[in-house]
Amino acid sequence: MTESVFVVAVDGPAGSGKSSVSRLAARRLGYGYLDTGAAYRALAWHVLEHEGDTSDSTGVLDFVGDFDYAISLDPDDYWVRVGGTDVTDAIREPRVSEAVSGVARIAPIRESVNALFRALVAESDRPGIVVEGRDITTVVFPQAPVRILLTASPDVRAERRSAELAAQDPSSVADALSRRDASDSTVVDFLTPAPGVTLVDSTDLDLDQTVQAVLDVIGEVQASGASGASGTSATERTGHGR
């Protein structure tokens, strides 16, 4: 991790609000925003577009060579591209959401994209970057000054994801979320904060309150002058008023 960029690492399960909260927090701070999950989604989209099978680990690796990926770190001008194609919206399609776990659990791919994430942060001209996704606090940036696990109860996460995907049946969304959790949990523990990681439980918080809770954690670390992960136990933030 470069010393000149202040990294805020945000972990959490699907539907916890990682993307919305991280992007808004970055905007408030004047930081960059890196959605790491977009890389896996973009690769899944790339494989599907070429009629590949994302459940075939060996087959997926064959598509990595010509995977030309780019992402914006500007929270006010967010885009994702594969080659010359803007896939910002396409990677959120249900077919991609269903396929992304098959890509994300392939160890060589995770190692490759993790190196990409670190390079994007190191090359950024922003004073700080909020990096969100799975295993960001433990694998990608384990020494980040701020490490947060953002979570919520399964029912609330399913409700929020259903609201985002209004065209889909709520029960189908809940089932898909459960399958995604089960699949991803075989690769990384995204429900239990590692030592030194602050748990922010947004079950009873609305979006603004959750953003403020994250900003409070960042502010406390900056006020203390901390430059790396500290402490040996997780702390917890919860709230009410949702």
**Annotated binding site for ATP, which residues?**
12-20
**Euclidean distance between CA atoms 218 and 214, whole angstroms:** 6
Residue 71, helix vs strand vs coil: strand
Chain-centroid distance, C-alpha 196: 19
Here the tokens at position 200 are: 């922010």
Here the tokens at position 192 are: 């239990």
Chain-centroid distance, C-alpha 18: 6
Chain-centroid distance, C-alpha 105: 15
Instruction: Provide the sign of the torsion angle of the four alpha carbons 221, 226, 227, 233, taken in this order.
Output: negative
**Euclidean distance between CA atoms 174 and 182, whole angstroms:** 12
Q: Which are the contacts of 138, defined by CB distance < 8 A and separation ≥ 6? A: 11, 188, 194, 197
**Euclidean distance between CA atoms 92 and 132, whole angstroms:** 16
